[in-house]
Amino acid sequence: PVSFDWKDPLNANSLLTEEEQAISETAESYCQERMLPRVLDAYRNEDFDRKIIEEMGELGLLGASIKGYECAGVSSVAAGLVTRAVERVDSGYRSGYSVQSSLAMGGIEEFGAEELKERLLPQMAKGKLLGCFGLTEPNHGSDPGSMESVAKPHPSKEGYYSLSGSKTWITNSPIADVLVVWAKLQETGKIRGFAIERKDCPPGTLETPAIKNKNGLRASLTGMILMDEVPVRKENMFPDIEGLKGPFSCLNSARYGIAWGTMGALEDAIARTRAYALDRKQFKGNPIAKYQLVQKKLADATTDAAFGILAAYHVGRLKDEGKAAPEMISMIKRQNCDRALVNARVLQEVFGGNAVSDEYGIGRHVANLFVTQTYEGQSDIHALILGRAITGLQAFC
Ligand code: TGC
Ligand code: FAD
């Protein structure tokens, strides 16, 4: 008879090409051997080791699905497998990775002028330049279309725009070299994308203070972007895209990645819980894994992870065929983030009092997964995107 593997219950591995399996193995080994030993201290100290991005660059994992510009040009499924490997360790590390790969590099690749791509992307692929993506503002999160950041011709520098405004909750911003920022062009009132290069900003025009004391995603750096007449070369504005379509196109790739990533976090929560439940004995020396209520928690979580992986895999294949509608991505982003959070929270109970110790890792996943459910479109916002597609009626306002 065919045997059942609780680590891959529906044999999703059999759907992968040899190249995808090899990329997944490279990413999993790196993440388990090099990232995992760092995460507990990083989480405790709210610290992100920038060397991680350079190490991932050396392995060819950054911007992995981009073709050209010294990027690997792998399939969307392979890129998803890397994301899953990183988030198996920690959602914060996956955030730093996703923002670099999908939002900053992805945005520049999709919309930047050729000169900008050639200048920045190879350096970003090596991890020598770190990117961030500024869409959210203090007064406009779910509704970025109302943003207040503004770009206008620079009053004293010919060939430059001047950007003013503030962005908040921006992953990587405190140490980013390249800041992809969305602002309204004053002349037209339309949203445009700009690649700000920190090295070109005169003192006092750009500040990126860190947001400290987070109660989740502590292994990722988050900050603001405060712009006071930041000069940006006209060539650094994305030439042919205006409106929300620009940032949302970048978000399609990042949201797709989160659908894979959160399944990695859930799989790690399952593995940790299974090991703990087999080891911990209560009532007549029985391992708690023997009890039906504990087994149901593991069965529910394992089923949701297996379904979530197949859904992400399927949308990845459609994406490469140009057949993935944004609503499909909303569906898997919402479902996988929600199910990862709900299941991790239930699995946490299996650890009893030890769940409260950060040594067991489960509480870290629960706190992180709340954030994944919130950023890149909070789950209820994705429900409304789906509701609009189902009914033809928009319920946002
Ligand atoms: P709406 O009328 O729906 O759309 C405006 C224009 O945008 C186009 N569009 C899309 N294009 C491509 N892909 C998509 N997914 C698109 N969604 C919309 C649309 O076709 C339209 O184009 P056009 O040419 O007709 O102008 O705009 P709305 O203002 O009604 O939007 C409502 C809503 C709720 C859907 C949207 O604002 C939304 O998704 N809100 C959520 C905000 C969000 O996701 N923010 C993410 C910030 S980045 C982040 O969180 C990074 S965390 C990363 C990490 O650390 O891992
Ligand atoms: P709000 O928009 O104020 O929403 C609050 C609540 O109201 C939510 O539950 C929402 O679903 C609900 N709500 C809002 N409108 C409606 C409606 N019409 N109908 C029903 N319910 C509604 N942003 C970036 O641009 N770049 C980044 O790199 C980035 N990184 C982040 C990292 C972290 C750690 C965090 C926490 C956030 C990050 N964000 C980033 C911001 C993130 O995308 C926003 O927090 C998110 O989009 C929600 O916006 P908000 O926080 O302003 O919440």
Q: What is the pLDDT of residue 226?
A: 98
Catalytic residue at 376? Answer: yes
Over range 316-331, report the average pLDDT: 98
ipTM of the complex: 0.98
Pick the ligand that lies closest to the CA of residue 374. Answer: 2
Asked whether the beta carbons of 230 and 209 are under 8 A apart, the reply is no
The reported pLDDT for the residue numbered 52 is 97
- Does ligand 1 have an atom closer than 6 angstroms to the CB of 223? no
- Averaged pLDDT for residues 117-145: 98
Q: What is the pLDDT of residues 245-285, one digit of tens each?
A: 999 999 999 999 999 999 999 999 999 999 999 999 999 99
Q: Which ligand is nearest to the CA of 214?
A: 2
Atom 42 of ligand 2: nearest residue by CA position? 375
CA of 247 from ligand 1 middle (Å) equals 7
Per-residue pLDDT, averaged over 43-65, amounts to 97
Average pLDDT value for residue range 92-121: 98
- 278 near 37, Cβ under 8 Å? no
The alpha carbon dihedral of 65, 71, 73, 79 has a sign of negative
Q: What is the pTM of this model?
A: 0.98
Smallest-distance ligand from the CA of 333: 1
Is the C-beta atom of 6 inside 6 A of ligand 2? no
* Ligand 2 proximity of 166 Cβ (cutoff 6 Å): no
Counting ligand 2 atoms within 8 A of each CB, the residue from 381, 382, 388, 394 with the most, and so the one to mutate, is 381
Tell me, what's the pLDDT at 312?
Answer: 98
The fraction of the chain above a pLDDT of 70, given in percent, is 100
pLDDT at 188: 96
Residue 240: pLDDT band with limits 50, 70, 90: very high
Atom of ligand 2 nearest to the CA of 99: 28
Strands (E), 149-211: 150-153, 160-171, 178-185, 191-197, 206-207
Cβ(318) to ligand 2 under 6 A?
A: no
Question: In terms of DSSP bridges, do strands 150-153 and 71-72 run parallel, antiparallel, or are they unpaired?
Answer: unpaired
Q: Which atom of ligand 2 is nearest to the CA of 211?
A: 34
pLDDT at 1 over 90: no
For 126-144, what is the mean pLDDT? 98
pLDDT at 397 over 90: no
What percent of the chain shows pLDDT beyond 90?
99
- Please write the tens of the pLDDT for every residue from 178-228: 999 999 999 999 999 999 999 999 999 999 999 999 999 999 999 999 999
Whether 178 contacts 119, CB under 8 Å: no
Closest residue CA from atom 5 of ligand 2? 142
3-state SS, residue 224:
strand
Does ligand 2 lie within 6 Å of residue 162's CB atom? no
